[in-house]
Structure 1
Amino acid sequence: MAARQLLLRRRAAAAAPRWRRGYSSAGAAEYLHRSIVPTMHYQKSLPRLPVPKLEDTIRRYLNAQKPLLNDDQFRKTEELAHRFEKGIGRELHEQLVAQDNQNKHTSYITGPWFDMYLKAREPVVLNFNPFTCFNPDPKSEYNDQLIRATNMIVSALRFMKTFRAGYLEPEVFHLNPKKSDTEIFKKIIRFVPPSLSWFGAYMVNAYPLDMSQYFRLFNSTRLPKLNRDELYTEEKAKHLLVLRNGNFYVFDVIDRDGNILKPSEIQAHLKYILSDNSPAPAFPLGYLSSENRDTWALLRKNLLDNGNEAALQKVDSAVFCLSLDDFPIKDFLHLSHTMLHGDGVNRWFDKSFNLIITKDGTAGLNFEHSWGDGVAVVRFQNEVFKDSTKAPAISPQSQPASVDSSRAVQKLDFKLNDALKAGITKAKQKFDASVEALSLNLIQFHEGGKDFLKQKKVSPDAVAQLAFQMAFLRQYNQTVATYESCSTAAFKHGRTEAIRPASIHTKKCSEAFVREPSKHSTEELQKLIDECSKYHSRLTKEAAMGQGFDRHLFGLRCLALSKGIALPDFYEDQAYAQLNHNIISTSTLASPALQLGGFGPVVSDGFGVAYQVHDDWIGCNISSYPTRNGKEFLQCIYKSLEDIFNVLKGKKISS
């Protein structure tokens, strides 16, 4: 009996997760942490994304149209909108609500939103994939390509294992952290059944967020198919994909027991890849992932038919793609170009994300957008940054393991026929032309930030958005369709909603600042800023609560098309098309792990505006094509911010 108990004890010890060992009692070789509350504890009881009332949607839609149209245009749009609301729109709305009630496991926007991304035929690079860039490691000697790559891989794998084991701390938005972000609360809430857990959090002003996208972070890729792409995930795969100089390498990072490979072995394999002097392939396969999706789908079929099935399977199922670039970063502009598109040779744009690490240890992510949004990606980056800097797996003194990397690392070989070679050549030409047409420009405004604006009781985000409106008016003498992304992750399978920052308030305020500042007293200008702030805060709150209008109208349009109903006149209105031609497309992500982010313009005559409002400064990263002057737009943004801050400080402004 004693021998049997001893055997059972040994088995239990062997099966016990290795998180008990490691850099602290709670941390681990295998896991980032072990949450008291299971990762998906709240998922079942998350509230469902509401379908807004049709009359509210039409009212909000018309409010967004007001600053963009003259009186005659607005009257026509108003008439079409009200006719839609009383007629076919009402029928479609009722059908959408009924359909939503039959699909309580998801949200009404999930299907149409996946379709929107996956049916798009434009290349993902510049059109969809954004980038975010990590801050450097605070310890400068760790900003070495081999050291940082090893540490980030280990931290990423810890994140993956922590998530899959259900140990990752659930994503919760705490309005009162002193009550809800405590050990006592967690110990209580874990015993509340998952079907009721959200309500328990809500009682203490905490809002759990949807985590349904997280599983697509790893072992996932977007597969090109004719008409509509597919998302593919293979969680059993244990290997990493590494790209260097356009060459593809794979090696296992998870062993047969499901444990992370020793960091010294990962380091040895990366060192082996970095010392490989193979030239770049004459026909780099990476370019294909930057192609038009139908073109790429046909070329992929050719690749499969030409004996590349096993190699492509390795690419598609890899845990993620690590891109090792052979050059250091010169400045922020060079950094943005590197992370947003690179040279096209050393990326696989279809992977859920590429972790890009340059020669000097600068790291960033370029991620495919159809599978998920910023909430999941930023959480991943925060955890990886924190873990790799606070508890690095290796140090500058660490020696790579004495292993035979030439046997562990497999270099993928692709068999190319003439049609594939011609396809790659053409993809390269298109990629080069797109990148050549793209301009990126950055500014940092150091005369104030979040702290000062909050002190003046105005919304920091509203001020940034007001500055963009003022800048465009100053540069082009007009107000145009503007889009700001807002997460609806507070709801089950929520994605994003649009905030429409161009309003009658921002238009009035911008005109006062740009056209006739001398006619207004400082107090009057302050009042105009305050009105913009209040209205923008209301729009933001509505959007976050699923009470915007864009997704609702989009859902109704998709429903009409799916049922073969002729598109209602409302959608044929020039004003509707104009509102959805987002000339100023904006997005902001704030995190202590990130120093920069960016994306391409969503229309050829637009600006892609990535911005961050920090405690004492504001940063903007602007993308544009030749039809727009991004550098001048940034100068106008700077002038607008200067004027706004001066007015808030009680100073007079000059024209």
Structure 2
Amino acid sequence: MSESTFAYDEQLPRVPLPTLEESCTRFLHWCAPLLTSDQYAATAAAVEDLLRPDSPARTLHADLERFDRTPGVGSWLDEFWPSRYLGRRDRIALNANFFFLFRDDTVLATSTGADQSERAAALITAAVDYKLRLDREEIPPATQRGTRLNMAQNKFLFSETRIPGAPQDTVRVPYSDEWPGHSEARHIVVFYRGNMFRMDVVGAGGAPYTPEDLAAGLRAVMKAGARRAPVNVSPGHLTTMARADWAPLYAALRPANNAAFDTIETALFCVCLEDFAPRDTLHACDQLLHGDSGNRWFDKSVSLIVFADGTAGINVEHCGLDGTTILSFVDDLLETSVSAHAERSGAQPQGLPAIEPIEFTLGPEARTEIASAAASFAQYAADTATSTVSFDFGTARAKSLRISPDALAQLSYQLAHKRSKGFNGATYESIATRQFRNGRTEAMRVITPEMLEFVAAMEDPALDRDAKLAALRAAADAHVRRAQECQRGEAPEQHLWELQWIQRRRGAQLGATEPMAFYDSPGWIVSRDDFLSTSSAPSVNIQFFGFGSTSPTCIGIAYVLLPDRWNLYLATPKHVARQMHEFAGHLKGAVAELTELLTV
């Protein structure tokens, strides 16, 4: 008998909670390479103040220890994640949601024609198969190099919707106190030309529709939605608004539109059908990241997007889902033929699925808001510059050169950044920590002393090959050590950040309201002002992975390291686009140079 999906989640080790001294010591070590001597001295003084016996940080940390011991709490980060993701008040569209562009030669893709409705029906069939197996807890628990991984995020894959609110958003999701157990919903939401339709994907008797029935249903949707909806009546545009602005509007619209919101929020997932084929890979990536916001509901956890030529991908709302969970889901969908998915799910011919338009009651003010949101987001997307870079180089080649593929990638990024901008700045890398109970990710800071020494060595014409190679190896080793620290839960940033959140949540209740100078220190500000924000997604079933920039001067780097390829999607604000393109150019040179240096 196979192991049930969530069987081991409660048995996984807990995320270790560092002491305040441990995090402060690590933080000073981590931020030091980015600071001047005066900045470091100011930060060290702020840390000393944070560690004094009567500091509010002591009270806040004690409360965090109390929370970690509370029955039913899986991790001391259980309040951190909602604060981090649901607490943001800016847009999530383009700023937080991420995408994957699927390969078009996967088993699922090649088991259908390139017809849009057939390709979309195949994806729906596969997703419904996964959902029903998840309901029965038949998805095998994930492992990585023999270590079991937390599966709790799978509960956010289906029927999860982010709900705008104040002071922070909430989540409508199954497996919760408000909605116990898995979702019993039988429908999805299909978008076409700004029109929204409810479509059943599971029949009244509990059997899924066949791929042929689903394809017929999608063709019926496209026929019914052939006339493009006016911009001001497509409520999907509202999901692009800053959360602080969307929340009161949502509350005002809800009473007259309960049925429409309920249909969207309880739907298993969204399917967005586009009426055009992407011009090229970059265009496909851009459309998956933002696209026509009237044809999206960015608050939905999962949106499968299919273009007119069958090209497909996924857009993901980040609050409950990280890339590793989505990759496992996507791999399951794409590595099996549509007929095998249909057979396994028990799909039965039932004729045309039930389809009905989702209609909103919208007054003049609401229509004005929708039109304004559409125009604002279109401009925001236009003000974002993007690029793709691809190397005929992969993990197999890196390993043959006896270097960690991720270390080689990060060393290349730093060398290219120095050559394009003249300096090295704060760099974030996401490190998965799903081996812990309720584990998600850890914030790794890439700039180590060894990294800066490596960049300096590469730029020093007086140094010979052996000296440069030694600096490269030292930086790569330091990078791997830091990544391993993060994997063990030995990183300072999220701990110190959570103390700041606790003060905001209940500082008055705890008597810990005194401002903490540490959070205004150069170290805290400089080390988190990202010039590069990086994350990798290894899967042979995807071409590209992407997300938006995280600050006005940041380049977002989403990269896919495959055995024989290395694909990157870059995003940055348009006003610094030139620097991004220069970075991309220097990156090609850096990769060639490091490869040559490592080749004996």
Structures share a fold, TM > 0.5?
yes
- Alignment match, 1:21: none
Question: Is 1:316 the equivalent of 2:287?
Answer: no
Task: Give the structure with higher Rg (CA).
Answer: 1
Q: Within 5 Å, which residues of 2 pair with 1:444-483?
A: 444-446=390-392, 448-483=393-428
Map Cα deviations across residues 180-233 of structure 1 (whole Å, 9 max, x no partner).
xxxxxxxxxxxxxxxxxxxxxxxxxx3211111111110111111132111002
- Alignment match, 2:20: 54
Question: Is 1:343 the equivalent of 2:289?
Answer: no
Q: Structure 1 residues 267, 526: closer, same or farther in 2, change over 3 A? A: same
Q: Give the whole-Å Cα distance in 2 for the aligned partners of 1:520 and 1:619.
A: 31
The more displaced of 601-610 and 554-563 is 554-563
The more displaced of 126-135 and 617-626 is 617-626
Q: Within 5 Å, which residues of 2 pair with 1:258-269?
A: 258-269=206-217
CA offset at residue 157 of structure 1? 0.5
1:440–1:623: 8 Å Cα contact kept in structure 2?
A: yes
Q: Give the whole-Å Cα distance in 2 for the aligned partners of 1:579 and 1:47.
A: 29
Q: Give the whole-Å Cα distance in 2 for the aligned partners of 1:390 and 1:64.
A: 52
2:407–2:476: 8 Å Cα contact kept in structure 1?
A: yes
Map Cα deviations across residues 397-426 of structure 1 (whole Å, 9 max, x no partner).
xxx978456xx2101122210110110111
Q: Give the whole-Å Cα distance in 1 for the aligned partners of 2:229 and 2:325.
A: 34
Residue ranges of structure 2 left out of the alignment (5+ in a row): 175-182
Q: Give the whole-Å Cα distance in 2 for the aligned partners of 1:511 and 1:627.
A: 28
- Alignment match, 1:3: none
Match of 1:421 among 367, 377, 380: 367
Match of 1:376 among 325, 330, 333: 325
Match of 2:44 among 78, 82, 95: 78
1:240–1:321: 8 Å Cα contact kept in structure 2?
A: yes
Q: Provide the secondary structure at the position in 2 that maps to 1:128.
A: coil
CA offset at residue 522 of structure 1? 1.1
Match of 2:151 among 194, 211, 225: 211
Q: Given residue 209 of structure 1, which amino acid in structure 2 is its aligned partner?
A: L
Q: Give the whole-Å Cα distance in 1 for the aligned partners of 2:225 and 2:59.
A: 65
- Alignment match, 2:388: 442
- Alignment match, 1:537: 480
- Alignment match, 1:172: 143
Question: Is 1:525 the equivalent of 2:468?
Answer: yes
Q: Given residue 648 of structure 1, which amino acid in structure 2 is its aligned partner?
A: L
2:193–2:228: 8 Å Cα contact kept in structure 1?
A: yes
Question: Is 1:570 the equivalent of 2:518?
Answer: yes
Q: Structure 1 residues 118, 545: closer, same or farther in 2, change over 3 A? A: same
Question: Is 1:638 the equivalent of 2:588?
Answer: yes
Map Cα deviations across residues 520-541 of structure 1 (whole Å, 9 max, x no partner).
1111111111111111111111
CA offset at residue 361 of structure 1? 0.9
Query: Alignment RMSD, CA only?
Result: 1.9
CA offset at residue 294 of structure 1? 2.4
- Alignment match, 2:165: 225
Question: Is 1:360 the equivalent of 2:304?
Answer: no
Q: Structure 1 residues 600, 547: closer, same or farther in 2, change over 3 A? A: same
Q: Given residue 132 of structure 1, which amino acid in structure 2 is its aligned partner?
A: F
- Alignment match, 2:242: 292
- Alignment match, 2:433: 488
Higher normalized contact order (CA 8 Å, seq sep 6+, divided by chain length): 2
The more displaced of 427-436 and 61-70 is 61-70
Q: Give the whole-Å Cα distance in 1 for the aligned partners of 2:432 and 2:337.
A: 27
CA offset at residue 591 of structure 1? 0.6
Match of 1:242 among 190, 202, 224: 190
Q: Structure 1 residues 99, 402: closer, same or farther in 2, change over 3 A? A: closer
CA offset at residue 503 of structure 1? 1.2
CA offset at residue 54 of structure 1? 2.9
- Alignment match, 1:118: 86
Residue ranges of structure 1 left out of the alignment (5+ in a row): 1-34, 176-205, 395-399, 651-655
Q: Give the whole-Å Cα distance in 1 for the aligned partners of 2:482 and 2:339.
A: 38
Q: Give the whole-Å Cα distance in 1 for the aligned partners of 2:118 and 2:247.
A: 37
1:108–1:555: 8 Å Cα contact kept in structure 2?
A: no
Map Cα deviations across residues 357-402 of structure 1 (whole Å, 9 max, x no partner).
11111111111001121122111101011124683649xxxxx978
Map Cα deviations across residues 39-77 of structure 1 (whole Å, 9 max, x no partner).
111112111111123333222212221221112211221
CA offset at residue 585 of structure 1? 0.5
Map Cα deviations across residues 539-577 of structure 1 (whole Å, 9 max, x no partner).
111111211111111122222332232231111213312
Q: Give the whole-Å Cα distance in 1 for the aligned partners of 2:207 and 2:342.
A: 14
Q: Given residue 382 of structure 2, which amino acid in structure 1 is its aligned partner?
A: E
- Alignment match, 1:145: 116
- Alignment match, 2:179: none
Q: Provide the secondary structure at the position in 2 that maps to 1:345.
A: helix
Q: Given residue 537 of structure 1, which amino acid in structure 2 is its aligned partner?
A: V
Identity over aligned pairs, percent: 29
- Alignment match, 1:133: 101
Q: Structure 1 residues 375, 641: closer, same or farther in 2, change over 3 A? A: same
- Alignment match, 2:180: none
Question: Is 1:549 the equivalent of 2:492?
Answer: yes
Q: Give the whole-Å Cα distance in 1 for the aligned partners of 2:71 and 2:433.
A: 18
Q: Give the whole-Å Cα distance in 2 for the aligned partners of 1:602 and 1:586.
A: 10
2:33–2:447: 8 Å Cα contact kept in structure 1?
A: yes
1:208–1:490: 8 Å Cα contact kept in structure 2?
A: yes
Q: Give the whole-Å Cα distance in 1 for the aligned partners of 2:377 and 2:468.
A: 46
Q: Work out the number of aligned pairs and report it.
A: 574
Map Cα deviations across residues 559-609 of structure 1 (whole Å, 9 max, x no partner).
233223223111121331222222210000001221111000111211110
Match of 2:539 among 591, 597, 603: 591
2:469–2:597: 8 Å Cα contact kept in structure 1?
A: yes
Q: Provide the secondary structure at the position in 1 that maps to 2:574.
A: coil
* TM superposition score normalised by structure 2: 0.92
- Aligned structure 1 segments of 4 or more residues deviating by more than 4 angstroms: none
